[in-house]
């Protein structure tokens, strides 16, 4: 994999919410290269989601700048909860994202169906969200994101609310989908194994205010799978190192 262009550059980014003394982010310097998957891992409430919100345009930085390589950056956001519109069918929920970027009506259905095929939901197009399991709802939310063909995929603990079994299968699916799309991806997670499995680099953040503690390159190639890396001694070593780095942060 050749990684070339910088997609997004955080330069000394800090964020303090109004009426709060403690900043959530402080001095964040991070570059996202085109096509790479970066995982952010850190204790709860440390401001990981704030970084995604900044990229999605939902909030502003307080200090520092965010450089974007291209002006037509289009981000798709997948949240921890599916956030599907309960009064729309699965298909119409995916079309919702396409409506917002002005895709003509005749193309919407085709693109939404294609995205739902990618996440294996083709048989549930006309179901309403409350007729689907939590895992299926989250697949639909992912389809809504990839349907707009984003240049930046923001995943905020996308599997965090699912049971362990569903989660492990969806991790494999997510790995496949991200590899197929080759979209630059920023993944927030609490799960060290998930970070190592899915990401090219793992960024470890401190407790609030979040600063970057360390950035790890994941040594496994693009053809990795849970089964192949789990027996690799480098997996155990990396996992141990990240765990020990996070221990004081989580205890604090």
- Contact status: 87 vs other proteins (CB under 8 A): yes
Measured from the CB atom, is 76 or 229 closer to other proteins? 76
Question: Site mask, other proteins, residues 28-57, x = CB under 8 A?
Answer: ----------------------------xx
Per-residue DSSP letter, 210: B
Q: Which runs of consecutive H residues, i.e. helices, occur in 119-221?
A: 134-147, 164-181, 192-198
Distance, CA of 38 to CA of 63 (rounded, Å) = 22
Residues within window 57-76 making contact with other proteins, judged by CB under 8 A: 57-58, 75-76
Taking the complex as a whole, how short is the minimal distance between the CB of residue 85 and other proteins, in angstroms?
6
> Per the omega criterion (within 30 degrees of 0), is the bond before 209 cis?
yes
Taking the complex as a whole, how short is the minimal distance between the CB of residue 82 and other proteins, in angstroms?
9
Taking the complex as a whole, how short is the minimal distance between the CB of residue 86 and other proteins, in angstroms?
5
- Contact status: 160 vs other proteins (CB under 8 A): no
- What is the per-residue DSSP string for 183-196? -EEEEEES-HHHHH
Strand-by-strand arrangement of the 25-33 sheet: 25-33, 6-15, 63-68
Select from 54, 52, 71, 72 the least CA-distant residue to 63: 54
- Contact status: 107 vs other proteins (CB under 8 A): no
- Contact status: 180 vs other proteins (CB under 8 A): no
Contact footprint for other proteins (CB under 8 A): 56-58, 75-77, 79, 81, 83, 85-88, 96-97, 99-101, 128-131, 144, 148, 154
């Amino acid at each position: 994999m050749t990684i070339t262009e910088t997609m997004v550059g955080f330069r000394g980014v800090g964020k303090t919410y109004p009426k709060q003394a403690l900043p959530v982010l402080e001095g964040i310097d991070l570059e996202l290269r085109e096509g790479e998957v970066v995982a952010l891992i850190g204790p709860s409430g440390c401001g990981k989601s704030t970084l995604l919100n900044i990229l999605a345009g939902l909030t502003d930085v307080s200090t520092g700048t965010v450089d974007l390589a291209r002006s037509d950056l289009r981000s798709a956001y997948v949240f921890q909860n599916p956030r599907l519109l309960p009064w729309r069918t699965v298909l119409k929920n995916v079309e919702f994202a396409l409506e917002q970027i002005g895709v003509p009506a005749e193309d919407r259905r085709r693109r939404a169906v294609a995205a739902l095929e990618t996440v294996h939901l083709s048989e549930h197009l006309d179901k309403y969200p409350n007729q689907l399991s939590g895992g299926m709802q989250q697949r639909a939310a992912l389809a809504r994101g990839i349907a707009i063909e984003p240049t930046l995929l923001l995943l905020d603990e996308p599997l965090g609310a699912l049971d362990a079994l569903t989660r492990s299968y969806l991790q494999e699916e997510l790995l496949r989908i991200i590899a197929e799309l080759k979209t630059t991806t920023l993944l927030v997670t609490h799960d060290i194994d998930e970070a190592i499995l899915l990401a090219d680099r793992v960024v470890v953040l401190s407790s609030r205010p979040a600063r970057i503690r360390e950035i790890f390159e994941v040594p496994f190639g693009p053809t990795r799978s849970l089964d192949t890396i789990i027996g690799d001694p480098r997996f155990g070593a990396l996992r141990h190192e990240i765990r020990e780095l996070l221990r004081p942060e989580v205890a604090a």
